[in-house]
Amino acid sequence: MKVEMREDRHLWVQTDPAKGDLREIIIDKETDVRINDGQTVVKVRFQDKKIRDILVNDVFVWTRDASLAKR
C-alpha cells in the first residue's frame, strides 16, 4: 500500500499496483473523495460538510437536491 500526501490538499492511497491491484482512493480536502478500481470511478462530492452528490464514471447516481425534492 502506498499513501502519499500531495501538498496539503490531497491524500492519495494506492493498494498494490505492482501486483495488479489498481484500486486507489483520492481524498481532496473538503471537496470530494474519488475511488477508482481501474475501470470505474466513484466520486462523492461534499458541500457544507454534507454529501452533495455521487457520480459513477461522471454520471450522477444521487444528488442531495433531488432526494430532498422527493420528501
Cell numbers linked to 60: 450522477
Rounded to an integer, what distance in angstroms lies between the CA atom of residue 9 and that of residue 18? 26
Q: What is the pLDDT of residues 51-62, one digit of tens each?
A: 999 999 999 999
The pLDDT value recorded for residue 45 is: 95
Element (H, E) at 64: helix 64-69
Domain carrying residue 60: 2-69
Closest CA to 12 of 29, 1, 27, 34: 27
**Helices and strands, counts by H and E, the chain:** 1, 7
Q: What is the mean pLDDT of each run of 10 residues along the chain (71 residues)?
A: 85 85 88 93 92 95 77 50
pLDDT at position 10:
86
Against a cut of 0.85, is the pTM above it? no
| Number of domains making up the chain | 1
